[in-house]
Structure 1
Amino acid sequence: MARSDWKRPDLEPLDPGLRRIRMTVSYHGSHYSGWQKQSNAKSVAEIIEQTLKQILDEEVQVVGSGRTDSGVHALAQVCHMDIANTRIKGEKFALALNRLLPADIRILDSCETDGTFHARYTTMARTYRYYYKRECDMTAFDDKLVAKVKQFPSLELLNEYACSIRGTHDFTTFTASGDLCPSRFRDIYESYWRLEIDRFGKELLSYTICGNAFLYKMVRSLVGSMMEFATKDLPVEEFRHILASKDRSRSGRTASACGLYLYRISYDVDEYAWFEEEEHE
């Protein structure tokens, strides 16, 4: 998909007298009903906005790079806010907020930017990671932070599935009902499984996926389906047929939210420029 087809709105200049502050946020998603502010549940953005009001004595809207579902974690969500306050330097917001925020939300950094940056509309790539541990290796510190399985399926077969996901595809098969996006096509730059060792010396099975954007519960559906299919030794050719079928009923189970992390947001226009050149040459 050409970047010109992303159909993002034009950026608007900042209103006179406003400053734009960019922040990187990590949070324990199990304690919240997602990033996006809601009328009937506690969200990460809501808590940050309430804390900002204490500091600035003004209503502030925090704009994130995208939503995360209830229970999903973030290592590096990116957001911005437009404020009239001129007393606090951009880089000081991280320290000021962390003094008041609950410990399960941390501002990793903050800085002043301008109207050419928009946390959502200037995003070039989003990276998610998913983590599994064997049930016998789970510790008391893994609860709600790592998904568990009895055994890991074939890493080779998982990576054959993952390789099939790279490129531009219609991901209708792996999109949950309720998604309102007019197009189900997404560009996937990276997709791979690997074994890692956690801080306790236990094996982690991790999945990494990076793309221009993702559909509703798409990553969790892909992860859960690949794990289920690999356990059943489903041939990679059949996985490709399922992806191409655009038939939601042919997907596997949806992985739980607790193992999923919004890992990184890229705003570098050159980082994945090779993908567009390869796909559209």
Structure 2
Amino acid sequence: MHRYFIEMAYNGSRFHGWQIQPNAISVQEVMNDGLNKALRQDINVVGCGRTDTGVHASYFVAHFDCVGVIEDPEQLVFKLNRIVGKDIVVYSILKVDSDAHSRFHASSRTYHYYLQTEKNPFLSEFSYRPLFKVDIELMNNAAKLLFDYTDFTSFSKLHTDTKTNNCKILHAAWEQQAQGAVLVIKADRFLRNMVRAVVGTLLEVGRGKLTLQQFREVIESMDRGKAGTSVPPQALFLVDIEYPQEVFQSKVKRQPPFS
């Protein structure tokens, strides 16, 4: 068997997340089907992580095993892009060591969450406009507190199969944009629903419902019920995954979906 990494992106609006679902269309299902047709083998694609229903990825990595060496990966990329439809794009297919794993060997992931502070019907599909004003500077002060902690149980979806709720936050900051702001958050790993729960709680700080001290207390409570409501998924993008150089060297120049 030979292992390959796929670099790709997708608009998650019409998918029920990455992972295969019993009665709903997923990105993984479409990719499996596309590779099965293109390679005429039974292929199972393993993703670098699981995005939820409606969440997008402007950069995503997956891997698969196949019998025989793929002689022309660029031709396979061309075939796949014709098969998988308009909501998915495949950028590259690269041969890697047989033990390289797109999920377990990833050293960091970066997400963007796009906040719209002015009404704009052309941005609503990929951003979230809260019905209240928020203080971006105050939310940035709260985001800095995330670096003081590693256990983020308060921001995790309940009843998941993870063995630990510890994550190392590597970057977290709001950046102003022309008609809003974007939270750029990077960590070694993320819990299910974590980014949307973090944003929802930061918005409670930004609107004056939580103080910075109370934000700390939410994290320290390790109680999802104390955190804010999860924000909608359409504004969330997985934008980057990094790997040790000896595992995988990307061919794709990563750019945020919006500037």
Q: What residue in structure 2 maps to residue 146 of structure 1?
A: 127
TM-score (norm: length of structure 2): 0.89
Determine if the alignment matches structure 1 residue 24 to structure 2 residue 17: no
Q: What residue in structure 1 maps to residue 183 of structure 2?
A: 207
Residues 114-172 of structure 1 show CA distances to partners (whole Å, capped at 9, x for unaligned) of: 22421011110111110011252x233x3431112245411111111110112542111
Q: 1:59 aligns with which of 36, 42, 48?
A: 42
Q: CA deviation at 1:76?
A: 0.7
Report the 3-state secondary structure (helix = DSSP H, G, I; strand = E; otherwise coil) of the residue aligned with 2:64: strand
* CA RMSD across the alignment: 1.8
How many residues are treated as equivalent by the alignment?
246
Q: What residue in structure 2 maps to residue 133 of structure 1?
A: 116
Q: What residue in structure 1 maps to residue 254 of structure 2?
A: none
Q: What residue in structure 2 maps to residue 273 of structure 1?
A: none
Q: What residue in structure 1 maps to residue 201 of structure 2?
A: 225
Determine if the alignment matches structure 1 residue 119 to structure 2 residue 102: yes
Determine if the alignment matches structure 1 residue 83 to structure 2 residue 66: yes
For residues 144 and 204 of structure 1, the distance between their equivalents in structure 2, rounded to whole angstroms, comes to: 14
Q: What residue in structure 1 maps to residue 155 of structure 2?
A: 174
Q: 2:137 aligns with which of 153, 156, 180?
A: 156
Q: What residue in structure 2 maps to residue 15 of structure 1?
A: none
Q: CA deviation at 1:113?
A: 1.4
For residues 153 and 143 of structure 1, the distance between their equivalents in structure 2, rounded to whole angstroms, comes to: 18
**Partner amino acid for 1:258?**
Q
Residues 1-60 of structure 1 show CA distances to partners (whole Å, capped at 9, x for unaligned) of: xxxxxxxxxxxxxxxxx2211111111111100001122110001001111111111110
Following TM superposition, the consecutive aligned residue runs of length 4 or more in structure 1 with deviations greater than 4 angstroms are none
Report the 3-state secondary structure (helix = DSSP H, G, I; strand = E; otherwise coil) of the residue aligned with 2:83: coil
TM-score (norm: length of structure 1): 0.82
For residues 105 and 203 of structure 2, the distance between their equivalents in structure 1, rounded to whole angstroms, comes to: 33
For residues 167 and 110 of structure 1, the distance between their equivalents in structure 2, rounded to whole angstroms, comes to: 39
In structure 1, stretches of 5+ residues that fail to align are 1-17, 198-202, 271-281
For residues 180 and 94 of structure 2, the distance between their equivalents in structure 1, rounded to whole angstroms, comes to: 34
User: Contact (CA 8 Å) 1:21, 1:90: kept in 2 or not?
Assistant: no
In structure 2, stretches of 5+ residues that fail to align are 247-259
For residues 94 and 176 of structure 1, the distance between their equivalents in structure 2, rounded to whole angstroms, comes to: 35
Q: What residue in structure 2 maps to residue 267 of structure 1?
A: 243
Q: What residue in structure 2 maps to residue 236 of structure 1?
A: 212
Superposed, which structure 2 residues align to 1:94-105 within 5 Å? Answer: 94-105=77-88
